[in-house]
Amino acid sequence: MRLQYSTNIRIVEMTCTGNIDHRVILGAFEEGADGVFVAGCMEGDCHFLKGNIRARKRVNAVKKLLDEIGVGGDRLEMYNLSSAQGARFAEIANEMTARIKELGPNPLKEAGISNNLKGGDVT
């Protein structure tokens, strides 16, 4: 397909979005990611039946927590798409990149925090 999408995306592969817990997402932000989007399968298509439904609940909980601690819940989003939707993935990658650019860098970087990721990364 050779689709183009923003080069600042770093993909972290998980076995299923249902395997994502709060710590994985918080850890990404603590290490300097400017934003995180969780790409789960289409609702109703989960191989484990409810992995993506549960992931969305967790993502919503972490969004709330990010608001409370000052990072901002808008930096995190959950999307549902199938592995056959390459074009949609590229679209989401660009959409999320645009949103994060609007929000600016991870505020932890401004607080002078060293991190292992390059500036502007979206994981």
For another protein, the closer of residues 92 and 100 by Cβ is 100
For another protein, the closer of residues 36 and 93 by Cβ is 36
For another protein, the closer of residues 65 and 81 by Cβ is 65
Alpha helices in the chain (DSSP H): 22-30, 51-69, 86-103, 107-110
Cross-strand pairs, 78: 38
Q: Which positions lie near another protein, rule CB under 8 A?
A: 21-23, 26-27, 29-30, 65, 68-71, 107-108, 111, 113
Residue 20 beta carbon to another protein: minimum distance, rounded to whole angstroms: 12
Phi, psi angles (nearest 5°) of residue 81: -155, 155
Residue 66 beta carbon to another protein: minimum distance, rounded to whole angstroms: 9
Specify the 3-state DSSP secondary structure of 9: strand
Instruction: Check: CB of residue 69 under 8 Å from CB of residue 108.
Output: no
Residue 100 beta carbon to another protein: minimum distance, rounded to whole angstroms: 17
